[in-house]
Chain A
């Protein structure tokens, strides 16, 4: 189970699927109690709608994608708006709209143009409450206003309770951004260092195998001519000749320049 519900999307999918399925079952039970058979009950459009709405949430338990997240948010928001339109003074609508708002915030849909999006959200809530109130025989800005006040109260209440968490979340986001920038810089520096630490291409300057043996001994042991001769079992004059040729091929004038150039060739 842990593997399946390892993200908000999957957890929300599981929760709403369970609620949807239990709502279908309870609808069937209620239908049975008023004398409907299960087959008649399945003929009821409400049960089918509930079933169809639950399907995307069941899929979202197993499949994680941006589209699934959008479908989740829109379905909850749409259901909330419809509930508000149907009954302006019921708690279902504002509750679902609030749930959709939290979910969309969690999915990062308010990262950009936050103020405009919040304003549109608020317009819909006010508009739908007022239209619903009007459709139910009230004057505009009459009973709907009380429901609006109630919704604002709930939103402010939630924000007050979660204020510290929201503040901390924003702080952490800033820190993460800084760390990401630093990480990128470190990666760039590392790439530069790796570039600097590349072995010197001896083949490019046509170093012979015998000369390379001299370079290797010189670089590893930082050896004198005599030490190179002893280690390679060759004459010191041969070492001198090799070094003379190596200096000319590489374009340096001392042994420590070769050690410096080739220090990453034999590590």
Chain B
């Protein structure tokens, strides 16, 4: 996905969600937002624009005050690390290895975000699978990194790396 396409997808999302200048710039500079919108293009999926736009919209809505609780991690998401990512995992066609690698990077970012928020979630009482000793961060992150190392391509790493993911900046 080139800058023009990214600008176009972001502009449409911004118009729907009525972004102001500051919010638009914040999303424009968000590595995760661009990465999520780019996965269908990287994998060569069918209906790239539709998939890119809908995944970006879901991601942006999950950050919005009025909707983010809908996308919070729930106990039923404990069974599978990709469970919470289901709304942004719908691809038609495309290279499965590239899609898997991108989803591993996204999952690693989400997992690292849980680890980063341990204290805050404990204080606020928000459900966190690492806090509840359901998920072992070291074991899961190692497994994800091993998978990423096997499949990562130069095109993926030009957009998003495992180093970006372990920082755990889900909303940035």
Contacts and interface: CB of A to CB of B under 8 A. Distances in A.
B21 interface: yes
A222 B20 contact: no
Interface in A211-260: 221-227, 230-231, 255-256
B8 A224 contact: no
A254 to B, nearest CB: 9
A222 B18 contact: no
Q: How large is the interface on A (under 10, 10 to 19, 20 to 34, 35 or more residues)?
A: 10 to 19
Contacts of A230: 20-21
Contact of B18 (A221, A226, A231): A226
A17 B33 CA distance: 81
Interface in B17-69: 17-21, 24
A38 B85 CA distance: 111
A227 B21 CA distance: 5
A108 to B, nearest CB: 50
A225 B18 contact: yes
A222 B8 contact: yes
Contacts of A222: 7-8, 11, 14-15
Contacts of A256: 12, 15
A227 to B, nearest CB: 5
B8 A231 contact: no
Contacts of A227: 14, 19-21, 24
Interface in B68-110: none
B135 to A, nearest CB: 38
Nearest to A225: B18
A231 B21 contact: yes
Nearest to B17: A224
Contacts of A224: 14-15, 17-20, 24
Given A230-B20, A230-B21, A223 B12 contact: no
A180 B12 CA distance: 45
A267 to B, nearest CB: 14
B94 to A, nearest CB: 26
B22 to A, nearest CB: 9
9 contacts: A222-B7, A223-B14, A223-B24, A224-B17, A224-B24, A225-B15, A226-B18, A227-B21, A230-B20
Interface of A: 221-227, 230-231, 255-256
Closest 9 A/B residue pairs (Cβ) = A222-B11, A224-B15, A226-B20, A224-B18, A226-B18, A224-B14, A224-B19, A230-B21, A227-B21
Given A221-B11, A224-B20, A230-B21, 20 more contacts: A222-B7, A222-B8, A222-B11, A222-B14, A222-B15, A223-B11, A223-B14, A223-B15, A223-B24, A224-B14, A224-B19, A224-B24, A225-B15, A226-B19, A226-B20, A227-B14, A227-B20, A231-B21, A256-B12, A256-B15
